[in-house]
């Protein structure tokens, strides 16, 4: 038995069978007993790997998410004995962990405020909740930085399962905030019961997420991501922001890694590989075909005029609002408009060129359409005028929208 357990592949298969048992509804205590010996050898990241394997085999992500707490309960004893990953202040994982500690204190403060009776308690609780809701910055960095880099290593389980729980926590924040804002309306006992019910679920979900990050996600990420990838993440973090914590400068990746790290501002391709025939852009690489497909499928007409006022491009969408022909390419834009409106075009270009304005917009009604026409000045990083882009769109269908639509229509 012990020889089998020491085999990583066999161990993962055994964990998988335990999780399948949970999915099938077997008693938790029975499965914990099965796991007792296996837990002595379980690695921090193996539970996440197994969840990912089950997703790959077709088990719905929603089911995995519902079982996630049970999964952790089965392996909790083993995880409790694992030390947290060691990092230096300034490293992304150090910042994540520090934020968790502050988040736990804010949860405690919210719980204490909710225990205070009367309007003073409600006001204090709502104020504490507003502070706690800023923890969304932590989740945004996970979703938009850590998860993409883990997915580069084919490690997709955390993003599939954790993101859904993030959204449930966000919904809990909003629900609790709405309750606290409205206050008791008649039956105060029922109101307090509702508040406690929402808070208890929110408190449990956030604390379980702290644990899963500390014991599963962060160790797995440290095992997989290179020093350069952590440097890339660190370089991009500030755009998304932090929760209370401001990372120090103590952690410094190797000089070569730091030099190659993706900068935190737009305008750099970063470390995306550029293959033959691809064009490096500010946030990615595309082929000319992909650029053309993207522009011709936008629900807007786009025309680009360079700094010399010459038309360099227009998009050939399926249903153009204004007629354009390839013959206008290279033509002065002033010559593309009738005499009675050319003075408006000239004024826009002069204002853009001088820096007097950056946007000009108009709207007209014709042939049952409500046409929104916008002009945007294009400037390089040094602020130099580099041309104008015109965007036209029939917004009549948008103006007619009411209420909400959250479900996808059936295909066909």
CA distance 162 to 52: 12
pLDDT at 87: 80
pLDDT at 70: 56
The full set of domain ranges for the chain reads: 2-80, 92-260, 288-399
Which ranges in 142-187 belong to alpha helices (H)?
147-151, 157-182
Secondary structure of residue 83 in the 3-state scheme:
coil
Say which CATH superfamily domain 92-260 falls into: nmb1532 protein domain like (1.20.120.520)
CA distance 195 to 177: 10
What's the order of all strands across the beta sheet hosting 385-394? Answer: 311-314, 301-306, 385-394, 369-379, 359-366
pLDDT at 2: 45
pLDDT at 388: 96
At 111, give phi and psi (nearest 5°): -60, -40
pLDDT at 264: 44
288-399 CATH: 3.30.450.20
pLDDT per residue over 160-181, tens digit each? 778 888 999 999 999 999 999 9
pLDDT along the chain (412 residues), means of 10: 54 70 72 60 62 70 59 63 77 95 96 90 93 96 92 79 89 95 84 93 94 88 92 92 91 65 47 76 89 90 94 87 84 84 91 95 91 95 95 92 83 54
Confirm whether 92-260 and 288-399 share one CATH topology. no
Show the CA angle centred on residue 206, arms to residues 200 and 208, nearest 5°.
100
> Which residues, at least 6 apart from 411, have a Cβ–Cβ distance to it below 8 Å?
none
Which ranges in 213-252 belong to alpha helices (H)?
218-224, 227-240
CA distance 142 to 218: 11
CA distance 124 to 115: 10
pTM: 0.69
Nearest to 27 by CA among 72, 77, 78, 70: 70
């Amino acid at each position: 038995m012990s020889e089998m357990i020491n085999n990583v592949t066999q161990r993962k298969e055994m964990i998988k069978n335990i999780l399948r048992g949970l999915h099938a509804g077997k008693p938790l205590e029975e499965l914990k007993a099965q796991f007792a010996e296996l837990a002595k050898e379980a690695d921090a990241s193996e539970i996440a790997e197994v969840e990912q394997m089950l997703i790959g085999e077709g088990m719905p992500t929603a089911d995995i998410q519902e079982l996630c707490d049970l999964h952790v309960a089965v392996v909790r004893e083993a995880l409790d004995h694992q030390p947290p990953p060691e990092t230096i202040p300034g490293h992304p994982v150090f910042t994540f962990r520090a934020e968790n500690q502050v988040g736990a204190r804010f949860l405690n403060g919210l719980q204490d405020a909710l225990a205070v009776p009367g309007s003073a308690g409600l006001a204090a609780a709502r104020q504490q909740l507003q502070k706690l809701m800023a923890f969304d910055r932590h989740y945004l960095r996970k979703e938009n930085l850590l998860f993409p880099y883990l997915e580069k290593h084919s490690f997709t389980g955390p993003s599939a399962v954790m993101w859904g729980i993030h959204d449930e926590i966000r919904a809990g924040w909003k629900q609790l905030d709405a309750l606290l804002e409205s206050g008791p309306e008649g039956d105060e006992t029922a109101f307090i019961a509702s508040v406690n019910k929402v808070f208890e679920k929110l408190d449990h979900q956030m604390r379980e997420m702290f644990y899963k990050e500390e014991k599963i996600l962060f160790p797995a990420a440290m095992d997989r991501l290179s020093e350069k990838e952590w440097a890339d993440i660190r370089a991009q973090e500030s755009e998304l922001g932090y929760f209370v914590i401001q990372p120090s400068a103590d952690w410094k990746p190797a000089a070569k890694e730091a030099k190659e790290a993706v900068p935190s501002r737009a305008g750099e391709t970063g470390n995306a590989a550029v293959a033959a025939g691809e064009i490096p852009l500010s946030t990615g690489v595309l082929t000319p075909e992909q650029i053309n497909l993207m522009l011709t499928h936008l629900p807007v007409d786009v025309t680009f005029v360079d700094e010399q006022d010459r038309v360099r491009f227009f998009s050939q969408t399926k249903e153009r609002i204004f007629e354009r022909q390839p013959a206008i390419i290279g033509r002065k834009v002033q010559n593309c408009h009738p005499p009675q409106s050319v003075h408006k075009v000239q004024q826009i270009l002069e204002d853009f060129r001088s820096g007097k304005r950056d946007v000009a917009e108009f709207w007209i009604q014709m042939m049952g359409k409500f046409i929104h026409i916008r002009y945007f000045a294009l400037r390089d990083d040094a602020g130099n005028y580099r041309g104008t882009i015109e965007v036209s769109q029939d917004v009549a269908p948008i103006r007619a929208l009411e209420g909400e639509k959250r479900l996808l229509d059936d295909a066909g």
